[in-house]
Amino acid sequence: MALDTANTISVRTMNMIQALNSALDVSLAHDPDTLIFGEDVGYFGGVFRVTDKLQEKYGLTRCFDTPISEGGIIATAIGMGAYGLRPVVEIQFADYILPAYDQLVSEAARLRYRSNGQFWAPITVRSPYGGGIFGGQTHSQSPEAIFAHITGLKTVIPSNPYDAKGLLIAAIECDDPVIFLEPKRLYNGPFEGRPDAQVKTWAGHPMAEVPEGRYTVPLGKAATVREGNDVTVLAYGTMVHVALSAIEETGIDAELIDLRSIVPLDIDAIVASVKKTGRCLIVHEASKYAGFGGELSALVQERCFYHLKSAVRRVGGWDTPYPHAFEWDYFPGPSRIVPALRACLED
């Protein structure tokens, strides 16, 4: 963690919405070239209230609403970035980012390369993503793999309030375009993947103690959530908490790695853990086929082959549209992670 030692930093309990709002507030105050725009982010404060009161505090030119045009939002941000501004834009749900995909791939990701370093696109694209809130097929998808495939884009996925704030500030200050995916199921509290269990808030969670001032969490640095010796579990976003719950249910001495970002990827942390445990389970909410877990599996196989005691396993969403009525059959909960953990040890 990098702290701004020029300011005295107090700490308070925040949920993820408050932590992200604080990150945006700090960034707007820190750099006059930073600005925020998107659908309903201004007066309304965002559909999840992440940008609440920022327009009131910084004015209409620093935080403003846009038409419903994802391609236009990203195109405008790229132009602003090329001219020296540092835009932070919101795509209201990650499901709706596809109309802007060509702008992100053909323009933002390649601008520095195409101009031989004369221009770049220091833009941050925030978007709520993932399921667990009965959003149906158009408000629940996890599209991280399609961005990880594109050279020139960074893809960041926090799992808790502390990381969310530090990673978002680091993303905003990065000179490359960053896709910042916010697991909306974690906005108000950690989720263990059991829909019938009592709802939890972030109150009392150690990662909800968030400095109020400016600090950064480096992009591309994984965190060890739980140390263990029997099997390595790789996860990010909501699945960090679901995997931890499954590990506790089994009593298996598993090591849980929160990747935090998938591009850049902390391959050194992954390799060190798998070489220690000799086994690996990968968990993500996105559809399993061609999901980012496939890339993780290949990397582990290539770099840890002689240390592996069993096959690398993956747990992901089903290869179907995200269902509304059968959300908890699709969602990779402990009921699917627990057998996979045990199978890793039985080989």
What end-to-end distance do the CA atoms of the chain give, in Å? 39
How many C-beta atoms surround the C-beta of residue 304 within 10 A?
A: 22
For the question of residue 139 being annotated catalytic, the response is yes
Of the residues 30, 139, 284, 324, which is catalytic? 139
CB distance 167 to 309 below 8 Å: no
Contacts for 6 with CB less than 8 Å, ≥ 6 apart: none
CA distance 307 to 314: 18
d(CA 281, CA 233): 5
H-state helical runs in the chain: 16-30, 54-58, 70-82, 101-102, 111-114, 144-148, 161-173, 238-250, 267-277, 292-304, 327-330, 334-346
Where in 91-200 does DSSP place strands (E)? 124-129, 154-156, 178-183
In order of 199, 318, 328, the CA distances from 196 in angstroms are 9, 21, 10
Q: Which two tokens stand for residue 47?
A: 């559909």
Dihedral sign for Cα atoms in the order 63, 66, 69, 73 = negative
Report the alpha-carbon distance of residue 183 to residue 85 in Å, rounded: 27
Locus of tokens 């507030």: 25
Please list the active-site residues: 139
